[in-house]
Amino acid sequence: MPDAVAAVVEQWRREFPDLDVSPIGVVGRLMRISRLWDKEIKVFLEGHDLEPGEFDVLSTLRRSGAPYELTAGAFLRTSLVTTGAVTLRVDRMQAKGLVVRERDATDRRSVKIRLTPLGLEVIERVLPLHLANEARLLRSLREADRRNLATTLAAMLESYGDVPSGVDD
């Protein structure tokens, strides 16, 4: 049975037979799967009293390595959100006891965001469950297809300049 995007592509082909509507087959599917996965991941994280943005903060700090802290500037460079969005997110997380802000001892202008023991416990408990949930989302793909898809998507992201920036701050 064809998916919903196939029906859209077929409708456009019928209405505009001389127009190449094939990009809809890729872009439309990526957008639909993104919306579906966003919803699935949000529901999963809500079950752990986390918002996706909070999980992103916990993950970013945890993968930075001990002592699980980054300057606010370094954190901003590793995320795709505005300063204001990070400030609000960190405020909420600080109120939950997941992170703390500390002035840098050597540069009082610099603020570091650090995982608390509770934040470390939460990310280390939820991360394996999150990864299992993501594996569930990919269950319809064979391992070779997953690798090929990851390679293709990485090439697309690189073509848009979406490459890692330095975080050593």
Helices 52-63 and 22-46, axial angle in degrees (round to 10): 90
pLDDT at 168: 47
| 118 residue type, one letter | L
Give CATH for domain 25-159. 1.10.10.10
Per-residue pLDDT 10s for the chain (169 aa) are: 788 999 999 999 999 999 999 999 999 999 999 999 999 999 999 999 999 989 999 999 999 999 999 988 888 777 766 777 788 889 999 999 999 998 877 777 788 999 999 999 999 999 999 999 999 999 999 999 999 999 999 999 999 888 776 544 4
Distance CA 74, CA 6 (A): 42
What's 166's DSSP letter? -
Distance CA 31, CA 53 (A): 20
What's 115's DSSP letter? E
Check if the beta carbon of residue 41 is closer than 8 Å to that of residue 52. Answer: yes
pLDDT at 80: 61
Q: Which two tokens stand for residue 59?
A: 């993950």
